[in-house]
Structure 1
Amino acid sequence: MDRDTDRYRLLTRRAAVLGGLKLAGLSALVGRLYYLQVVESARFTMLAEENRISLRLVAPSRGTIVDRFGAPLAVNQQNYRVVVVSERTRNIQDTLDKISKIVPLTDGDRRRVMRELHRKRRFVPVTVRENLTWEQVATIEMNTPDLPGVAIEVGEIRHYPEAEATAHILGYVGAVSEAELNGDPVLSLPGFRIGKAGMEKYHEKALRGTAGTSQLEVNAVGRVIRELSRDEGQPGREVQLTIDIGLQKFVQQRLAQEVSASAVVMDVHTGGIYALCSHPSYDPNQFTMGISAELWEELLSNQATPLNNKAVAGQYPPGSTFKPVVALAALESGLISRNHSVFCPGHMDLGDHRFHCWKKGGHGTVDVVGALRHSCDVWFYDVSRRIGIDRIAEMANRFDMGQLTGLDLPHERPGLIPSIDWKKGALGKPWAQGETLIAAIGQGYVLSTPMQLVAMTARLANGGFAVKPHLTKQIKALSGEQTSWPPIGVKKENLDLVLRGLYEVTNAPNGTAYKSRITEPGYEMAGKTGSAQVRRITMAERSTGVKKNEDLPWRERDHALFISYAPVSSPRYACAVFVEHGGGGSTAAAPIARDILLECQKRDPGRAAVAESAPPPPPPGGTRG
C-alpha cells in the first residue's frame, strides 16, 4: 500500500513538472505571437507591402524653349518605339527577322538587343528601335498576332522645329554618360536624356523638372501585375529666349551664301540677343535620334567647322573694327586733342621697320573722324605710339574685350587683348613698340569673338553704358531681363566724335562702306569695316603688287568684318558680321550687315522690350563738311 502511494506521488510530481514546462512553452509561444502580431504589426505590414509594391520613378516631361514671342524652338514629341519581351517569344532571332521587314535593323541594332536580353530578366521589355513612323507603328500593330512578345510603347523625344537655324543656340540632348551620373536617380532611367550643348545644357536644371513615381504591384520574381497609383511629378519650366526666330532664320539664310560666317544682332539697351547665327550649321534632331558614324565624320572633317559656334567661340583678329576703341583710348588719355591730325603717305617708319597703310598712296591729312571714315592705318599707328599698348588694353577691357562677356551660353571664349604684363607673363618676352602699332589696327596678338564685337558696338551706340549680352528673356515663374547698366566712364564729347566717324563710314560718299549704306529714310545705319590679314605680305610681293583676295586660296584670304548699329537717329540694334576668309569688310561683310539691320528694323523685335536704361546719345548729325 505504501509502495503504491509512493509511486502515485512520484507520477504526480512528474506530471506537474511536465505540465508546467508545457504551460511555460505555451505561454512563450502565445507571447511571441502577441509580439509579432500586435506589437510589431505595423512593421511587418510595411515589409509585406514592400514585397508586394514596387515604387518606380517616372521621367518628368522636359520643359519647352520658346522665342521672345512664344514661338516654339524646342518641344517634346511622341516617340513610338518597338519593344520585345523574350519570355513571350519562341525564337528571338526569328522575331527580329520579322520586325526587320517592317523596321530596318542594322547588325548593331541586333547585337545591342541580344546584349540587353542576356543582361535583363526575361519578362523585362527591351527596346528594339525608337522613333518609328506612324506607318511603321500601324504595320506592327496589324501584325501583332504574328509577332509574339512584340509591343509598341510611347514616350517623348526632343524635337527642334527650326533645326539648323537654332542649332548653335539650343544645342541638343543626349543619353546620360557614366561621367554625368551625379546621384540623381532620374539620370539612371532607361532612355533619359539631358542637355549636351547650348541652352539645353545651360538651363538643364530648369528644363529637367522633378521625377514622378509609379506604384506597381509585382509578384515574387518582380513581374508587374498592375499599376496601383501614378504621380507624374513636375514638368520642366518653360524657358523664353530673347531670340526673334523670324529674324534668326533670315540671318541664317543670309549667311548661307558664304562658305563660313557668323553674325549677332543685339539690343543696345537691354542686351537681349535677337539673332545669333553661325554658318554652316547642323541639324540637332540628328543627335537626338542618334547620329550615324558617317555623318559624324562628315561634320568633323568639314573645313568650315559646322559644329563650332563661331559667334561665341571663334577667336579672330578684329582688324579695323577695333579702331573705334583705339580712337577713344587716345582721346580719353588727354595726349591728343580732338583735332589731332596726321599726314598719311601710305606708310609709317619706326626704326628699321616700315608699317604700311592699306591704301598704297595714302590718305593725306586726316583727323579722328577722317581716320575712321577712311580706316587710315597711319593715323592709328601714330596715336598708338603716343599712348602705348596698356592704355589701349585698358579701354578695350571697358568694352568687355579680352574677357568673357558673361553670355548665358556654354563654351564662350575670351579673346585676347595684349598688354606689357601679359606678354611678359605669357611669353616671357618684353613688349616691342612695333607690336603696339600692329595691335592698334586689330592685328597681331589681338583676338576677339563676334559676340565681343557686337557688345562693344552696343556700348558705343547706347552712350557708353556697360550693357551685357544675354539670351534668356525669362524662365517661367522666375525673374526676367535686366534693363539698366552702369556707365563705362568715357566723356560724351569723345564718344560723340567717334560716333560721327562711324556715321561717315556708311553715309559719307568717301566712306569705306558707303556702297552698303541703308538708303531708306529713318533706317540709316552707322558702322565700321574691318579686314584681318591671315598671311604675311613680303616686300617682294609689295613691290610687284599685292595679290588680290580672289586670286588666293580660300584659307589665305583676309577675314571680312563689319560692326554697325541702327537707326542712327535713335540707336536700338547693334550688329556684328564676320565672314571667314571673305576678303574685304566693305565688300563681303558690310552688305550682309546692311540686309540684317534693315530686316531687323522692319521687324522691330525690340518693340516689346522694356528699356529703362539711360537714354541714347543724340544723333551725330549730318556728314562732315
Structure 2
Amino acid sequence: MPRIRRAVEKIHKIDEEELIILKKRVDIATAVIIVFIAILIARLWFLQIKKGEEYVKLSENNRIRIQQIQAPRGNILDRFGRVIITNRPYFNLVWTKEDAPNPDEVVKRLSQILGEDISMLLSSIREASGQPRYMPILLKEDIDWKTLVYIENHHFELPGVRVEVMPSRDYLYGNMASHLIGYLGQINKEELEALKQKKYQGGDLIGKMGIEKLFEQQLHGEKGYRYLEVDVLGFEQQILQHQDPLPGNDLQLTIDIDLQQTAEKAMEGLGGAVVAMEVNTGKLLALASSPPLRLDEFIGGISTKVWQEHLNDPLHPLIDKTIQGQYPPGSTYKIVTALAGLGERIITPETVFYCNGGLNIYNRRYGCWKTAGHGAISLQRALAESCDVYFYQVGIRVGVDKLAVYAESLGLNQQTGIDLEHEKPGLIPTSAWKKKKKNERWQDGETLSIAIGQGFDLATPLQICRMTAGLVNGGKLYKPQIIEEIKNPEGATLEKIQPVLLGTVQGSEHNRNLIIKGLIDAVNTRHGTAGSAKLPGITVGGKTGTAQVVRMAKFKSIPESQLPRKYKDHAWFTCFAPAEKPEIAVTVLVEHSGHGGSVAAPIAKQVLQEYFKDRLVVETEP
C-alpha cells in the first residue's frame, strides 16, 4: 500500500508541473494575441482616422479629375474705349502624370509629332515636378489645326495627353505700342514662388514687360474648374461640378490709337521715339518707340536665334527709347539756359550778344551752327534761330551749377515717375558730380557745351516732352500718366486715375512767356528753325535740336549726308499747340538722322495734324 500511495503522489506532482507549464504557455499566447489585436487596432485607426481623408482623396482621384479653366485676361482699351488687345481661343497640348506615370515613351512620340527636341519637353515636365499628379503639365502652346486633329485621332496612343482650349492675346492693331503694352510669357520658378499665394501654377502665362507685367494682378482674373468623372483610361464620363472663371479687369489707357498709329507710321524704318502729352494733366496720348517689338515672337519664349538678331539690329528694337534712350538734348536744352539766364537776371529780353559764327574764349573757338553768324541778336530771335553763341554767353555767366538747378526744376536729371520699368534718369552735370565721378575739376569751357545741350547732358524723349509741358502749362510738372481707368469685365469703373502734380518749374510766369514767344517764332517766322512744323489755323511753338554724336577724326570733314549712319547726329523737335492755350506737347527724337528742323519737326507735324484734324484750316490755292 505505501508503494501504491507513493506512485499516486508522484503522478499528481507531475500533473501539477505540467499544468503550471501549460498555464504559462496559455498566458504567453494570450499576451501575443492581445498585442497583435492592439497593433491591428492602432493600424486601423491610423488608416481610417489619421490618414482616412487622404486615402479617400486618393481613391476618388482614381475616378475624378480636377480640370482648371483659365480666366481670360482683361482687355486693354484706348482712351476712347476702343479695344487694342483682347483674347482669342488657342490650343495647348498638356500631359497629366496620373494618367501615364512614365513619360518617356509619350515624350518620344510627341517630339516626332511636334518637331520639338525631347530635352525641351522633358524640361517642361521636370519644372512642374512639384505640382499634384492630377494637374496638367504644359508641353506645347498654341498648336496648329493639323497637330490638333492628329492628337485627337491618336488619343489612345498617347496616354495622359490632351488638348486644352486657352484664351490667348489677340493684338487687334498688331505691334502698336508694343513697348508700352509689353508681352506675356510662361511663369518661371522664381515668379511662381513669388506668386504662390495667388493660385498660379506652372505653365501659366503672365505679363513679362510693360503694362501686362505691371498690372498683372488686375488683368489676370481667377481660374474656374471642372470636377470630371473619368473611366480607367482617363476618358471623361460626366461633369460632377463646374465653376466658371472670372475674367480679369480691363485697363483703359490714356493713349489715343489714332495718334499712336500716326506716330509709329511716321517713324517706320527709323530708330527713335515720339511722345505726345496733355500739357495740363500729364496724360500720355502717344508713346511710340521705334522700331516696335514683334509681340508674337515673345509669347511662349523667344528663340535664341531671334533674340540674337534683335541684339545685333542697329535700330535696337529691344530698347524702349521713350524712357530708356538717353541722348544729348541738343538745342532743346536752350529752354533751360534761357530760363536760368532770365531767372538769375543775367539777361533781359533786350540783352544783345553779337554772333559772328563763333565765340573765341579759353584759347579756342566755339562755333555756331550758322558759320556766317547771326549778327547782333537778342533772346527771342536767339531762340527762334537757335543761335549757339547767344547761349554760350548766357551759360558761361550763369554757371553749370545754376543751370542744373533750373534743369532739375524742369524735370531733367531724374525719373519722371511713369508706371513703367527701367526708366532712365538722364544726366545733368554739376561741378560736384564731375569731382565725384571723375575726380576732376570742372572746366569753364565745358559749361559752354552744357549750355547748348551737348557735353555730358543726357535726357530721354519723355523728359523733354514733360519739360515742354511744364514750360507752357503754368509751370506745373505732372507725373506722366498711362492709365485712365480700371474697369471690371462688365465695364463698370473700379478706379479712375487722377493726375499727380509732382513739382513746379523754377522761374516766373513772365519769364516762361518770354521763352514761349521765341518758340512760337521758331515755327512761324521766316528764319525760324522749325518752319516745317507750321500748321494752317493752329499756332505751334517749338524748339529744334541737333544732338552731336562723337565721331572719328577722319569723318570730321565729310558732309552729314555721306556719313555712315552711326556717325550722324540725332534730330530733336519738341513743340506745343495751340500756342494761345496749349493742350498738347509733342516730342520727337530720330536717331542718327541729321537736323531737327528737317527730320524731326515734320514727324511732329503729322501727329499735330491728327490731333487737330477737326480744327485745321483748309488751305486753298491762290
TM-score range, shorter chain: 0.7 to 0.9
Q: 1:159–1:285: 8 Å Cα contact kept in structure 2? A: no
Does 2:613 match 1:596?
Answer: no
- For residue 133 of structure 1, what is the aligned residue in structure 2? 144
Q: Deviations over 1:178-212 (max 9, x none)?
A: 33333533676231122211111221232234455
Structure 1 residues 563-572 or 375-384, which shifts more?
563-572
Alignment of 1:108-507 (within 5 A): 108-113=116-121, 129-134=140-145, 136-138=147-149, 140-141=151-152, 151-185=162-196, 189-210=201-222, 228-232=240-244, 234-256=246-268, 258-476=269-487, 478-483=494-499, 485=501, 487-507=504-524
- For residue 19 of structure 2, what is the aligned residue in structure 1? none
Q: Give the AA of the match of 1:113.
A: L
Alpha-carbon distance between aligned partners in 2 of 1:417 and 1:134, rounded to the nearest angstrom: 56
SS in structure 1 of the partner of residue 360 of structure 2: strand
With over 3 angstroms needed to count, the CA separation of the structure-2 counterparts of 1:145 and 1:232, relative to structure 1, is closer
Q: State the aligned residue count.
A: 591
Alpha-carbon distance between aligned partners in 1 of 2:247 and 2:555, rounded to the nearest angstrom: 67
Q: CA deviation at 1:493?
A: 1.1
Q: Give the AA of the match of 1:480.
A: K
Q: CA deviation at 1:296?
A: 1.9
Q: 1:564–1:575: 8 Å Cα contact kept in structure 2? A: yes
- For residue 592 of structure 2, what is the aligned residue in structure 1? 581
Q: 1:345–1:364: 8 Å Cα contact kept in structure 2? A: yes
Q: Deviations over 1:352-394 (max 9, x none)?
A: 1211111101101111101101100111111111111111111
Alpha-carbon distance between aligned partners in 1 of 2:153 and 2:234, rounded to the nearest angstrom: 30
Q: Deviations over 1:5-47 (max 9, x none)?
A: xxxxxxxxxxxx9999999999999999999999x99877644
Q: Give the AA of the match of 1:237.
A: N
SS in structure 1 of the partner of residue 459 of structure 2: coil
SS in structure 2 of the partner of residue 591 of structure 1: helix
Q: Deviations over 1:489-516 (max 9, x none)?
A: 4311111110000000000111111233
Alpha-carbon distance between aligned partners in 2 of 1:263 and 1:118, rounded to the nearest angstrom: 45
SS in structure 1 of the partner of residue 175 of structure 2: helix
With over 3 angstroms needed to count, the CA separation of the structure-2 counterparts of 1:172 and 1:472, relative to structure 1, is same
With over 3 angstroms needed to count, the CA separation of the structure-2 counterparts of 1:479 and 1:540, relative to structure 1, is closer
Q: 2:192–2:202: 8 Å Cα contact kept in structure 1? A: no
Q: CA deviation at 1:128?
A: 5.1
Q: CA deviation at 1:295?
A: 1.9
Q: 1:157–1:288: 8 Å Cα contact kept in structure 2? A: no
Q: 2:470–2:476: 8 Å Cα contact kept in structure 1? A: yes
Q: Deviations over 1:71-107 (max 9, x none)?
A: 233333222134566579996488548x73xxxx33x
Q: Give the AA of the match of 1:112.
A: M
TM-score, normalisation: structure 2: 0.82
With over 3 angstroms needed to count, the CA separation of the structure-2 counterparts of 1:195 and 1:540, relative to structure 1, is closer
With over 3 angstroms needed to count, the CA separation of the structure-2 counterparts of 1:33 and 1:228, relative to structure 1, is farther
Q: 1:241–1:471: 8 Å Cα contact kept in structure 2? A: yes
Alpha-carbon distance between aligned partners in 2 of 1:494 and 1:78, rounded to the nearest angstrom: 58
With over 3 angstroms needed to count, the CA separation of the structure-2 counterparts of 1:603 and 1:315, relative to structure 1, is farther
Alpha-carbon distance between aligned partners in 2 of 1:572 and 1:535, rounded to the nearest angstrom: 36
Q: Give the AA of the match of 1:109.
A: D
Alpha-carbon distance between aligned partners in 2 of 1:73 and 1:240, rounded to the nearest angstrom: 10
Q: 1:88–1:148: 8 Å Cα contact kept in structure 2? A: no
Q: Give the AA of the match of 1:236.
A: G
SS in structure 2 of the partner of residue 308 of structure 1: coil
Q: CA deviation at 1:138?
A: 4.2
Q: Which has the larger radius of gyration?
A: 2
- For residue 620 of structure 2, what is the aligned residue in structure 1? none
With over 3 angstroms needed to count, the CA separation of the structure-2 counterparts of 1:318 and 1:172, relative to structure 1, is same
With over 3 angstroms needed to count, the CA separation of the structure-2 counterparts of 1:439 and 1:345, relative to structure 1, is same
Alpha-carbon distance between aligned partners in 2 of 1:20 and 1:93, rounded to the nearest angstrom: 62
With over 3 angstroms needed to count, the CA separation of the structure-2 counterparts of 1:19 and 1:135, relative to structure 1, is closer
Q: Give the AA of the match of 1:479.
A: E
Does 2:522 match 1:510?
Answer: no
Q: Give the AA of the match of 1:482.
A: Q
Q: Give the AA of the match of 2:312.
A: S
With over 3 angstroms needed to count, the CA separation of the structure-2 counterparts of 1:358 and 1:188, relative to structure 1, is same
Q: CA deviation at 1:48?
A: 4.9
Q: 2:183–2:207: 8 Å Cα contact kept in structure 1? A: yes
Alignment of 1:31-46 (within 5 A): 46=53
With over 3 angstroms needed to count, the CA separation of the structure-2 counterparts of 1:403 and 1:183, relative to structure 1, is closer
- For residue 12 of structure 2, what is the aligned residue in structure 1? none
Q: 1:60–1:232: 8 Å Cα contact kept in structure 2? A: no
Q: CA deviation at 1:566?
A: 1.2
Q: What 5-or-longer segments of structure 2 have no aligned partner?
A: 1-8, 10-23, 489-493, 616-622
Alpha-carbon distance between aligned partners in 2 of 1:218 and 1:448, rounded to the nearest angstrom: 62
Q: Deviations over 1:284-339 (max 9, x none)?
A: 11111433332222111101101111111000000001111110111111232232
Alpha-carbon distance between aligned partners in 2 of 1:72 and 1:272, rounded to the nearest angstrom: 19
TM-score, normalisation: structure 1: 0.82
RMSD, aligned CA: 4.2
Alignment of 1:554-569 (within 5 A): 554-569=565-580
SS in structure 2 of the partner of residue 181 of structure 1: helix
Q: What 5-or-longer segments of structure 1 have no aligned partner?
A: 4-16, 605-625
- For residue 532 of structure 1, what is the aligned residue in structure 2? 547
- For residue 581 of structure 2, what is the aligned residue in structure 1? 570
Q: CA deviation at 1:248?
A: 1.0
Q: 1:176–1:187: 8 Å Cα contact kept in structure 2? A: no
Identity %: 35
Alpha-carbon distance between aligned partners in 1 of 2:419 and 2:104, rounded to the nearest angstrom: 54
SS in structure 2 of the partner of residue 63 of structure 1: coil
With over 3 angstroms needed to count, the CA separation of the structure-2 counterparts of 1:539 and 1:333, relative to structure 1, is farther
SS in structure 1 of the partner of residue 478 of structure 2: coil
With over 3 angstroms needed to count, the CA separation of the structure-2 counterparts of 1:331 and 1:57, relative to structure 1, is farther
Q: 1:53–1:217: 8 Å Cα contact kept in structure 2? A: no
Alpha-carbon distance between aligned partners in 2 of 1:89 and 1:538, rounded to the nearest angstrom: 64
